[in-house]
């Protein structure tokens, strides 16, 4: 062996690894035999079950009356008339066909299953009972196994139940099902049940039932919106916009649509969303205020808009959103800004009356989950309660508030004022006029006899502001001066200013928050419950 090399071990000198012992081999053989027999047994059981299922299927005389429908790709259109749950009380004894969701199901043995069927805000009980030659046990079993929130096509006879059904909105009839087919069903486990999401919080606490938190609801909004309560809430929201539009159209207003991308902030830079705009920047509209006024300068006389409003305010409260729907209007005035204030008052009274007269079913539906005192307003010759800002301050001082903190009425004192007004005047709806000029935007007209006061007003529901409005400045020199006083360069808003330089009539108007009106009318206690998909400083999804 040459110098520097290491000794190596010859292969023949390495130890030969030992194989398994005889006992280990016997043990392995037993385990393999056991596994083989278990596999054979499982295969036989599966084959037997398959054969039994095949026999049951062959003997299932009702198999054409239930099952999953093929994927709807608009293959055919037989034009069969569909019925609604809401109309079933008028169809006693008739055969009906309806598409609905299964909110819950409850089997009794293998011969009967109850279904809680739902369409929007209406629910009805469905009953499927095994019957020789008509309804098979496999049909009952299959139906009982359908997941909650499955969409089904149901055919059956409308019958009178033995006693009134308390758990559904349709209480005097039920559907005796003779055919049921699955259209679609959830692929994931539901984060909560619709029953849990539909109960009043007081009932959950009293009976120690599951309470679905608002955050959980908003994170799973598609499911949450299916509750009958939410279906009613957003039917009412649509009705408010309908009533708003109908009243204004009937009083000579024209609906307009203004841009939501603007070249300058309309109120203050701190509360505006800045977005990139090609090589420059733009701002999301905080209101259609400037465009409304430009339309008045264009001789539209009376205009309104229903559209999104954006506010970059980091306010995480029960009543603030970063995006909401604004109901805005502007009108020329002939003599006095109270013409606009009084028209707005008549608008609200019209909305309140229509809600009460035409939407009681939806209001009652919401009230079952969110019980509240009925919303009150004043009718008759006395009309709506109107206070000046000074009178409102006096009422708060009489109630124990220190006058020194009432240069502005904050949220807490707004609610307090609402309670004082309700106790003294028995109304949930009132107007406060003549706000201090320092609290209002640059385009607000000053009071002619007191420059520290303004021709402006706020409307309140249950002690919370739902409209802010005023007479606007239509004279360009005064407008430019007030802009400078607020730190705004008039030339930065040249397009707006030019409308006034061309001559503009006296005018006024107001802006209303749709979701806030809905929240306060129903007393939902959080504006997110009155918003389809809320946007706030902490939420951009879903």
Positions marked active-site: 311, 313, 319-320, 465, 468, 516
* Positive or negative: CA dihedral 34, 35, 36, 37: positive
**Which of 184, 497, 236, 200 minimizes the C-alpha distance to 369?**
200
How far is 306 from 244, CA to CA, in rounded Å? 9
Q: Are strands 274-277 and 280-284 parallel, antiparallel or unpaired?
A: antiparallel
**Which of 514, 511, 533, 512 minimizes the C-alpha distance to 522?**
514
**Which of 230, 61, 57, 89 minimizes the C-alpha distance to 169?**
89
Query: How many residues comprise the chain?
Result: 542
Q: How many CB atoms lie within 10 A of CB 13?
A: 7
How far is 165 from 161, CA to CA, in rounded Å? 8
Q: Which residues pair with 337 in a beta bridge?
A: none
Inter-helix orientation angle 494-501/289-297, to 10°: 30
* Positive or negative: CA dihedral 132, 133, 137, 139: negative
Q: Are 143 and 117 in contact (CB under 8 A)?
A: no
**Which of 173, 216, 184 minimizes the C-alpha distance to 102?**
184
Structure tokens given for 261: 């991308």
What percentage of the chain's residues is helix, strand, coil (to nearest 5)? 40, 25, 40
- Residue 415's Cβ-count burial label (10 Å; 0-12, 13-18, 19+) is middle
Q: How many CB atoms lie within 10 A of CB 466?
A: 25
């Amino acid at each position: 062996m040459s110098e520097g090399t290491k000794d190596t071990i010859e292969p023949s000198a390495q130890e030969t690894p030992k194989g398994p012992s005889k006992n280990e081999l016997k043990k392995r053989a037993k385990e393999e035999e056991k596994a083989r027999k278990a596999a054979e047994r499982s295969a036989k059981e599966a084959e037997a079950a398959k054969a039994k299922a095949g026999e049951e299927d062959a003997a299932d005389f009702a198999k054409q009356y239930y099952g999953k429908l093929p994927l709807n790709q608009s293959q055919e259109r037989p034009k069969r008339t569909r019925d609604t749950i809401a109309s079933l009380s008028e169809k006693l004894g008739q055969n009906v066909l309806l598409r609905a969701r299964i909110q819950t199901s409850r089997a009794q043995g293998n011969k009967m299953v109850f279904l809680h069927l739902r369409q929007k805000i209406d629910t009805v009980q469905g009953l499927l009972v095994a019957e020789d030659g008509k309804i098979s046990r496999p049909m009952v079993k299959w139906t009982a196994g359908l997941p909650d929130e499955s969409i089904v096509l149901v055919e059956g006879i409308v019958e009178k139940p033995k006693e009134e059904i308390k758990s559904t909105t349709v209480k005097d009839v039920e559907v005796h099902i003779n055919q049921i087919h699955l259209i679609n069903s959830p692929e994931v486990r539901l984060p909560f049940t619709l029953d849990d999401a539909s109960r009043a919080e007081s009932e959950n606490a009293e009976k120690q039932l599951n309470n679905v938190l608002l955050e959980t609801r908003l994170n799973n909004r598609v499911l949450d919106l299916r509750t009958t309560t939410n279906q009613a809430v957003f039917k009412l929201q649509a009705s408010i916009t309908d009533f708003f539009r109908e009243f204004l159209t009937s009083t000579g207003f024209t609906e307009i649509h203004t841009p939501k991308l603007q070249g300058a902030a309309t109120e203050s830079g701190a509360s505006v969303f800045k977005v990139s705009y090609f090589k420059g920047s733009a701002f999301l509209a905080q209101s259609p205020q400037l465009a409304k006024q430009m339309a008045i300068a264009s001789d539209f006389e009376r205009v309104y808009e229903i559209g999104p409003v954006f506010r970059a305010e980091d306010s995480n409260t029960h009543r603030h959103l970063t995006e909401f729907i604004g109901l805005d209007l502007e009108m020329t005035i002939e003599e006095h800004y109270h013409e606009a204030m009084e028209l707005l008052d008549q608008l609200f009274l019209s909305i309140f009356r229509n809600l009460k007269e035409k939407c009681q079913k939806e209001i009652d539906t919401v009230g079952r989950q969110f019980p509240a005192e009925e919303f009150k307003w004043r009718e008759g010759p006395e009309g709506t309660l109107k206070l000046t800002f000074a009178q409102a301050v006096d009422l708060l001082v009489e109630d124990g508030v220190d006058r020194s903190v009432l240069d502005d009425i904050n949220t807490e004192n707004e609610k307090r004022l609402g309670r004082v007004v309700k106790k003294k005047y028995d109304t949930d709806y009132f107007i406060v006029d003549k706000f201090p000029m320092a609290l209002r935007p640059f385009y607000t007209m000053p009071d002619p006899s007191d420059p520290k006061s303004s021709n402006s007003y706020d409307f309140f529901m249950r002690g919370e502001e739902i409209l802010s409005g005023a007479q606007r400045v239509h004279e360009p020199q005064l407008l430019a001066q007030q802009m400078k006083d607020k730190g705004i360069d008039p030339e930065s808003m040249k397009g707006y200013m030019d409308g006034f330089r061309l001559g503009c009539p006296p005018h006024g108007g107001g802006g209303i928050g749709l979701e806030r009106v809905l929240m306060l009318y129903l007393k939902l206690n959080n504006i997110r419950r009155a918003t389809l998909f809320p946007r706030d400083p902490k939420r951009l999804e879903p």
